[in-house]
Structure 1
């Protein structure tokens, strides 16, 4: 959690709370993942947390 930041789709894609609603639409899933309301207006966000990188599985 941090300070209020003006958001865009590119910014939201990097957030761990985002999910793909459809092939072209990205939605904020903060409520569904935490059970808490965001409390910030659309287009502004203070809940951004960067996604962790997925590990690649090595095939033997």
Structure 2
């Protein structure tokens, strides 16, 4: 968590709490992941956490 940041969909796509709803829509899944409300208005966020990289599965 950090300071309040003005957000856009590009910024939200990099957050670990974002869910891709369709090709164009992104939904904040903070409440589902933490069972707590975000507590900040839409367009301003202090809950941003960068997504971890997915590992590729190697077939033998």
Give TM class, smaller chain.
over 0.9
Which residue matches 1:25?
25
Structure 1 stretches (4+) deviating beyond 4 angstroms? none
Mapped partners of 1:7, 1:43: distance in 2: 5
Q: TM-score, normalization: structure 1?
A: 0.95
Which range is displaced more, 21-30 or 39-48?
21-30
Q: TM-score, normalization: structure 2?
A: 0.95
Q: Unpaired runs of 5+ in structure 2?
A: none
Which residue matches 2:14?
14
Which residue matches 2:45?
45
Query: In angstroms, what is the RMSD of aligned CA positions?
Result: 0.6
